[in-house]
Amino acid sequence: MEISDGETLAFDYLVVATGATPRLPGVPGQDLEGIFCLRNVTDAIRIRKFIDEKRVKRAVVVGAGLISLEMCEAFRRLGLETTVVYRKDLPLRRLGEDFAEQILTELETNGVAFMGETSLEGFEPTDTGGIIVHSSGGTFETDLVLLGLGVVPQVSLASEAGLGIGSTGAISVNKFLQTNIPYIYAAGDCCECFHRISQRPVYAPLGDIANKQGRIAGANIGGQNLSFPGIVGSTCFKVFNLEVASTGLTAEEAREVGLKAEAVTIQGVSKAHSYPGSRELHIRLVADTENGRLLGAQAVGGDGVVSRINGLAVALTGGLSLDELAYLDLAYAPPFSGAWDPIHIAAQKLLK
């Protein structure tokens, strides 16, 4: 292969770990000073420096995914007036309207203005170093814009090298992380991974998955014979005082891949009712109506959300049924759950 100084590098094995690049809105003025994406440490340092040096007071966040919502919290902590511009009506609608509304309430309670069903039209500089934002919801001024519109896999090198690109637009790999050229591997945000529940390749650009894929590719290059078992689609994030997590499929996603899915949602508590600091915890379980197998779970709440979802990620990986979940021997003590955990309660309700 040829590198930027014109030098040629020979190799026996190659790992393509070119990552992903931020998706841009494609509107006029998107490259103005003060408009940022957040992808790496360099971006984070640039944003923080800009806020400090320009004495930024107002921020606009475009998009309402995980990075956008985490940045809302960061901006509010720095005292910035923060507005989200989003094309859909609610953030993270994938999790269901009820959960999305809780996320919206959490944003608004913490002083974030949310402009839903609003499309971005462009940016213009002001004479005083500000930025004019044009949108379907009106024109307004801000000091800083964060574009949080997701990422696209960086596959230009892979395409030039003739590597196979999958249906998701990312590099296609087998379970050993090999591309269609066996001595060329791929790992991380530039490549696809196999979703164990939908049984399809998916694009899941997350750092934890990248590490696992990288380690398995490296082990195989070193002479071992490891395979990556795929993902069940677990994610979590925190926005202000709300924890949000999910694993597996939503009922809608399950039906899209041809499964007969049913869901139930319960409101439980994160610790025993009587225990100080117990918070509401909402869990939705999704199961296959034909065989009672768990297909996915989504949860929001003030506390204890991620431990439940991680337990359910294990259940998904092991192919547990609702019968098994309903009486599963989860660890119990009042500081951590009720005697019946929200997982038991939800599984039993879905069995009825």
Partner 1 sequence: MGKKLVVVGGGAGGPSAAAKAKRVDPELEVIILEGGEHVSFSA
Give the interface with partner 1 as residue ranges (CB under 8 A): 1, 3, 9-19, 40-42, 157, 185, 187-190, 207, 210-219, 221-224
CB 185 within 8 A of CB 178: yes
9/331 with CB nearer partner 1: 9
Beta carbon of residue 68, minimum distance to partner 1 (angstroms, whole number): 18
Torsion angle, alpha carbons of 164, 168, 171, 176, to 10: -100
Cβ nearer to partner 1, comparing 123 with 203: 203
- Closest distance to partner 1 from the beta carbon of 191 (Å): 8
Nearest to partner 1 of 41, 339 (CB atom) = 41
Number of Cβ within 10 Å of residue 336's Cβ equals 16
Query: Minimum CB separation from partner 1 for residue 229, in Å?
Result: 16
Query: Taking each helix axis from N to C terminus, what angle separates 97-109 and 66-77, rounded to the nearest 10 degrees?
Result: 20
Question: CB-wise, 15 or 346, nearer to partner 1?
Answer: 15
The smaller minimum CB distance to partner 1, of residues 10 and 331, is found at 10
Q: Which is nearer to partner 1, 15 or 286 (CB)?
A: 15
Cβ distance to partner 1 smaller for residue 226 or 257? 226
Alpha helices, H only, 225-267: 251-256
Q: Considering beta carbons, is residue 156 or 241 the nearer one to partner 1?
A: 156
Neighbours of 225 (CB within 10 A): 7
Tell me the closest approach of the beta carbon of residue 213 to partner 1, in angstroms: 6
Report the nearest approach of partner 1 to the CB of residue 178 (Å): 12
Comparing CB distances to partner 1, the nearer of 186 and 343 is 186
Question: How far apart are the C-alpha atoms of 199 and 207, rounded to whole Å?
Answer: 21
Min dist CB 287 to partner 1, Å, is: 33
| Burial call 26-46: b when 16+ CB within 10 Å, e when fewer | ebebbeeebbbbbeeeeeeee
CB 151 within 8 A of CB 189: yes
141 phi, psi to nearest 5 deg: -110, 145
Nearer to partner 1 by Cβ, of 27 and 157: the residue is 157
Instruction: Answer for the pair 135, 143: CB distance below 8 angstroms, yes or no.
Output: no
Tokens found for residue 15: 């790992």
CB of 41 to partner 1, least distance (A): 4
Instruction: Output the smallest distance, CB 152 to partner 1, in A.
Output: 15
Phi, psi at 83, each rounded to 5°: -125, 130
CB of 146 to partner 1, least distance (A): 19
- Note the residue count of the chain: 352
What single letter denotes the amino acid at residue 306? V
Contacts of 261 (CB under 8 A, 6+ apart): 249, 251, 254, 255, 286, 287, 288, 289, 295
Taking the complex as a whole, how short is the minimal distance between the CB of residue 351 and partner 1, in angstroms? 40
- CB neighbour list of residue 255: distance below 8 Å, 6 or more residues apart: 261
64 neighbors 84 (Cβ within 8 angstroms): yes
For residue 24, with 0-12 CB atoms within 10 Å meaning exposed, 13-18 middle and 19 or more buried, which class applies?
middle
